[in-house]
Amino acid sequence: MLTLEKVNKYFFRNTLDERWAIRNLDLRVQGGEFITIVGSNGAGKTTVLNLISGNFFPDSGRVFINSEEVTKYPAFRRAHYLGRVFQNTYQGTAASLTIEENFAIAFRKGKPRGLRIAINDSMRKRFKTKLSEVGLGLENRLRDRVGLLSGGQRQALALLMATIGDPKVLLLDEHTANLDPKTAEKIMDLTNQLIRNDHLTALMITHDLSEALNFGTRTLMMDGGEIVLDISGEGRKKLTIPELLDRFSETRHKQFAEDRALLSTAKK
Ligand X SMILES: Nc1ncnc2c1ncn2[C@@H]1O[C@H](COP(=O)(O)OP(=O)(O)OP(=O)(O)O)[C@@H](O)[C@H]1O
Residues at the contact surface with ligand X, assessed by CB under 6 A: 11, 19, 21, 39, 41-47
How far is Cα 223 from Cα 42, in angstroms, rounded to an integer? 8
How far is Cα 68 from Cα 107, in angstroms, rounded to an integer? 23
**Closer residue to other proteins in complex, CB, 115/266:** 115
Q: How many residues does the chain have?
A: 268
262 near other proteins, judged by CB under 8 A: no
How far is Cα 264 from Cα 79, in angstroms, rounded to an integer? 33
Burial of 175 from C-beta contacts in 10 A (0-12 / 13-18 / 19+): buried
Choose the one of other proteins, ligand X, Mg ion, none that binds residue 21, judging by a C-beta under 5 to 8 angstroms depending on kind: ligand X
Choose the one of ligand X, other proteins, Mg ion, none that binds residue 142, judging by a C-beta under 5 to 8 angstroms depending on kind: none
**Closer residue to Mg ion in complex, CB, 40/163:** 40
Residue 239 beta carbon to other proteins: minimum distance, rounded to whole angstroms: 32
Residue 197 beta carbon to ligand X: minimum distance, rounded to whole angstroms: 28
How far is Cα 248 from Cα 58, in angstroms, rounded to an integer? 26
Choose the one of ligand X, other proteins, Mg ion, none that binds residue 202, judging by a C-beta under 5 to 8 angstroms depending on kind: none
**Closer residue to ligand X in complex, CB, 11/64:** 11
The β-bridge partners of 27 are 4
Choose the one of ligand X, Mg ion, other proteins, none that binds residue 64, judging by a C-beta under 5 to 8 angstroms depending on kind: none
φ/ψ of 231, rounded to 5, equals -120, 130
Who contacts 216 (Cβ-Cβ below 8 Å, separation ≥6)? 33, 34, 35, 36, 202, 204
Give the x/- contact pattern for other proteins in 144-173, rule: CB under 8 A. Answer: -x---------------xx-----------
Residue 106 beta carbon to ligand X: minimum distance, rounded to whole angstroms: 25
